[in-house]
Structure 1
Amino acid sequence: MTDTVILWFRQDLRLNDLPALQAASRDGQQVLPIYILDEDAPGEWSMGGASRWWLHHSLTALGADIRSLGGKLIFRRGNALSILREVCEANNAQTVYCSRRYEPWASQEEETLHGALGSDGIKFKRFPGSLLHEPGSVLTQGGGPFKVFTPFWRACRRVESAPPVAKSQSSWSDYAQSDALSQWQLLPENPDWAGSWLDHWTPGESGAQERLHAFLDDAVSRYADERDLPAVDATSRMSAHLHHGEISPRQIWAMCEQKKLELPHSDTAVNKFQAEIGWREFSYHLLHFFPEIPDSPFKKNFRGFPWQADDKRLGAWQQGQTGYPIVDAGMRELWATGIMHNRVRMVVASFLCKHLLQHWRHGEDWFWDTLVDADLASNGCSWQWVAGSGADAAPYFRIFNPVTQGEKFDKQGMYVRRWVPEIAGLPNKYLHKPWEAPDGVLDEAGITLGEDYPQPIVDHREARQAALDAYEQIRLSAATSS
């Protein structure tokens, strides 16, 4: 048994159900907890602004939790290998514990660390904890990766996931030198575009637990029926907590199973919610086997898709100024809160790719910078799903009509009126298609289209046909080449 061991926090910012912490506490007399901000290792996938905001508050919460137990979370910025070597040497530590990550760059980093630290006589031990099933543990009967969600999830349900591990009783060491978290300047300044975000979020392990309990005690019973209604609080809003590792999927799963025992009639709704955890698993499964997914189309024929680069159209979409209220409401919600309702995400993504014919990478990049739950696996796979180029993707001819989507899922207009207040005075009949409102109706609502609110950036029917023509072009190209 060594005197001090290193616990390297990564995307696992919690103390409960943390196998790496359990092992470190068992093997060492003292555990030195450290978080390293290495902004070079991820390359182009370095954290976006919204993720940095969340990270600051999550680390603040984790530091406070460790401090309440008599320890101190060490903050260091720079190359992970150099810092781990330095900290191990300064504290005579011979083992580093951490949780696995699954992004391609992170997996490569772990292999490098394992070899480099091993050459120094330092053990590098990795543990699961971010997924229900480790990538590669659920395979087809032929031993290959699943490419379709339903059989993948069916196979997952046949495999019992490990239960959460108990919280460890740890003795903490704080010998290492530490940065001040404020030095990292993770929070935005001039302007502070996240100034009101703490009204919407409570980053940290306690916030994650509180949010999950609130969801399972109330909204989960309505989840199956109301999850597609953006004006209704019927979703879990757990994605950012999951992404930053403030709660584990195993904890969520166990609490869901307990809920089904307590309320048997809730099975359908809870199962539907658990299937969303399954989509996250599927995304990481795909990223593991197909690491190019964030960068290039899964379906190779889409490499020749005739995208039409247009900065003006892209800017209108980013700013919520397309003239389609449900699209603009979603983009403004994203900017104001760091999140967007999942149904609306599909609508705005379809609009960008299929109405505006902008490359899905532009949408992926924008979400990466503006979402508090920006996740490499889920973000890349979801954008490719909408574009039609991904695994188990939406068919190319599924082109969401933003008007009918708004009328179906925001029937009373509560969501649009909240985020697009300049047209709030319109009656429901015209709220999702203000360009069809008679002049008298527009006058009564105090709206001049083109001034108070933009005219539609594209005509739906024309844009739909252009998209179908583009998809037909690559279909014919694929048929010819084969």
Structure 2
Amino acid sequence: MSSPQIVWLRRDLRMADQPALYAAAQGGPVIPVYVFDQDRAGDHADGGASKVWLHHSLESLGRSYGARNSRIVLRRGDAPQVLAALADETGATCIHAMRHYEPWWKEAEDELRDALGEDTKLCLYDGNYLLPPGSVTTGSGDPYKIYTPFSKAMLERMPPRDPLPEPETIHSPDSWPESDELAEWDLLPTKPDWAGGIRDFWDFGEDAAHERLEWWSDVVAEYDEGRNLPSEDITSRLSPHLHWGEISPAQVWHKLKDKRSDGWKTYAKEVIWRDYAQNVIDQFPDYPTQSYRDYDERTLWRNPNAGHLIAQDLECWQKGMTGYPIVDAGMRQLWQTGWMHNRVRMICASFLVKHLLIDWRFGEQWYWDCLVDADYGNNGVNWQWISGTGVDSNMFVRIMAPLTQSEKFDAAAYIREYVPELADLDDACIHDPPDERRGDYPVKMIGHKEARERALEAYRSSKD
């Protein structure tokens, strides 16, 4: 029998359109390996919600491999060292892996090449994005920094390559290396078990991703207007499936590409935004931690580490106790389900950085811990867009009005679901309840007009 082929799994937890798995299956017996390497990513190690999704996704993928008389080898530790040792132990001649663009994974790929012996090579494949980051460039050959021209250039090269099928056969090695038990990794919370809302809200794994895509293909036509309505289920909710690689963007694109609707055109641009975010972090690896506009940030931001009252403001935002129903509904949905409606994500993020003037990085870290689709590129790019600090971003002086947004996009039912203490209020009142009708619900932390004037003054001072 030919030599074993290791498949290094990361955020590519699927069987179909998985180029690394497909290539490995052509080369010999396949040993799929997931290495739980948390130290490498530092502040961007998997957050609590991401660990919950990872557990269930690995569990689902393990069943899929089991149905093919195969299995996933689970190991914990420094990924390059673990994989190099495993290649030596099994006699593997190649480690196949999907290429990743987070800085810690790029570093790990380089370290793994150096750690492998002469008889083993590392083969990297593209396929987690529509096109490989760095492959779409300007006329002068430079990578794009601004989304709009990037998107236009991407659309000219669509559709992406055809998706690959599952391998026809996955051969097993003569003997399997030892493996951890998934439960030993303690990815799931115990006491208290705060993940019940995540389990209730989501189905995990490759089959669930394709079931949601099938549903979405019938709904996407409504998306152009429906995407702004948090009370309606008119968003794809494919983001965690795409993030964890349970489905590929090529599979999504080819499923929807023949749709002739404004909804598909709008959604297509959002799928391209995902590619754009990876292109940004490929150019600026520290983008989720470093601003790229010329502000005096000591003047612009209120730092929760510098004072108790500012820390209290941050905590009220995190817990959904700001006194703004649409903001609080969003923050509570985030905590309960590990996800937040996109329109509301923007409202909540804008509230933190402009109404409360709290440094966007505190928001980035909270979203990182709470989101099941927490993505290094998307999260950083989105926060820098809303805070006006990124290479391509909204102007800081454009300050979203949460109360107006709530009424405009008919968020009454959404508020009732996630802020139950206001459930008895009618639609006319629920977006901005008068103080005497709030009951136990808090009054507004700061008035919108006052917050807007304070933010504009801070901005002016930061530019002087």
Question: Which interval holds the TM-score relative to the shorter structure?
Answer: over 0.9
Contact kept? 1:302, 1:389, Cα under 8 Å: no
C-alpha separation in 2, matches of 1:85 and 1:138: 33
Q: In the alignment, is residue 475 of structure 1 matched against residue 448 of structure 2?
A: no
For residue 180 of structure 2, what is the aligned residue in structure 1? Answer: 179
C-alpha separation in 2, matches of 1:16 and 1:454: 49
SS of residue paired to 2:96? strand
Matches within 5 A, 1:40-439: 40-117=39-116, 119-160=117-158, 161-169=160-168, 170-173=170-173, 175-217=176-218, 219-258=219-258, 260=259, 266-301=260-295, 303-309=297-303, 310-410=310-410, 413-435=412-434, 439=436
C-alpha separation in 2, matches of 1:196 and 1:407: 27
Contact kept? 1:410, 1:416, Cα under 8 Å: no
State the Cα deviation string for residues 50-91 of structure 1 (Å, max 9, x = none): 000000000000000000011111111111122212221221
State the Cα deviation string for residues 439-469 of structure 1 (Å, max 9, x = none): 4xx2xxxx43xxx010100111111011111
C-alpha separation in 2, matches of 1:185 and 1:76: 13
Shift of 1:305: 4.6
For residue 263 of structure 1, what is the aligned residue in structure 2? Answer: none
State the Cα deviation string for residues 305-346 of structure 1 (Å, max 9, x = none): 521121000000000000000000000011111100000000
SS of residue paired to 2:441? coil
C-alpha separation in 2, matches of 1:302 and 1:115: 42
C-alpha separation in 1, matches of 2:299 and 2:122: 44
C-alpha separation in 2, matches of 1:92 and 1:107: 25
SS of residue paired to 2:346? helix
Shift of 1:120: 4.4
C-alpha separation in 1, matches of 2:118 and 2:446: 61
Contact kept? 1:2, 1:93, Cα under 8 Å: no
State the Cα deviation string for residues 188-215 of structure 1 (Å, max 9, x = none): 1111001232221111101101111111
Question: Unaligned stretches of 5+ in structure 2?
Answer: 304-309
Shift of 1:354: 0.1
Contact kept? 1:2, 1:94, Cα under 8 Å: no
Q: Which amino acid aligns with 1:297?
A: S
Contact kept? 2:60, 2:206, Cα under 8 Å: yes
Contact kept? 2:80, 2:109, Cα under 8 Å: no
Deviates more, 1:197-206 or 1:347-356: 197-206
C-alpha separation in 2, matches of 1:128 and 1:300: 35
SS of residue paired to 2:434? helix
Shift of 1:301: 3.0
Shift of 1:396: 1.4
SS of residue paired to 2:196? coil
Shift of 1:414: 0.6
Shift of 1:155: 0.4
Q: Which amino acid aligns with 2:288?
A: P
C-alpha separation in 2, matches of 1:59 and 1:34: 11
C-alpha separation in 1, matches of 2:69 and 2:427: 57
Deviates more, 1:380-389 or 1:466-475: 466-475
State the Cα deviation string for residues 360-417 of structure 1 (Å, max 9, x = none): 0000000000000000000000000000011221111111111101111125x11111
Contact kept? 2:323, 2:442, Cα under 8 Å: yes
Deviates more, 1:388-397 or 1:322-331: 388-397
For residue 457 of structure 1, what is the aligned residue in structure 2? Answer: 445
Q: 1:39 to 1:76 in 2, by over 3 A?
A: same
Contact kept? 2:94, 2:120, Cα under 8 Å: yes
Shift of 1:150: 1.1
State the Cα deviation string for residues 12-50 of structure 1 (Å, max 9, x = none): 00010011111111122x111111101111122100000
C-alpha separation in 2, matches of 1:301 and 1:460: 23
For residue 306 of structure 2, what is the aligned residue in structure 1? Answer: none
C-alpha separation in 1, matches of 2:198 and 2:172: 32
For residue 35 of structure 1, what is the aligned residue in structure 2? Answer: 34
Contact kept? 1:5, 1:31, Cα under 8 Å: yes
Q: Which amino acid aligns with 2:101?
A: Y
C-alpha separation in 2, matches of 1:468 and 1:93: 60
C-alpha separation in 2, matches of 1:147 and 1:80: 31
SS of residue paired to 2:4? strand
Shift of 1:475: 2.8
C-alpha separation in 2, matches of 1:191 and 1:110: 37
C-alpha separation in 2, matches of 1:234 and 1:23: 37
SS of residue paired to 2:393? coil
Q: Which amino acid aligns with 2:95?
A: V
Contact kept? 1:297, 1:303, Cα under 8 Å: no
Shift of 1:154: 0.4
C-alpha separation in 2, matches of 1:382 and 1:390: 9
Contact kept? 2:19, 2:125, Cα under 8 Å: yes
State the Cα deviation string for residues 171-229 of structure 1 (Å, max 9, x = none): 13361100100000000111100123222111110110111111112x21211121100
CA-based RMSD of the aligned residues comes to 1.4
Contact kept? 2:84, 2:115, Cα under 8 Å: no
For residue 307 of structure 2, what is the aligned residue in structure 1? Answer: none
SS of residue paired to 1:196? helix
C-alpha separation in 2, matches of 1:304 and 1:394: 20
TM-score (norm 1): 0.92
C-alpha separation in 2, matches of 1:144 and 1:212: 34
Q: Which amino acid aligns with 1:132?
A: L
Contact kept? 1:76, 1:178, Cα under 8 Å: yes
C-alpha separation in 1, matches of 2:2 and 2:391: 47
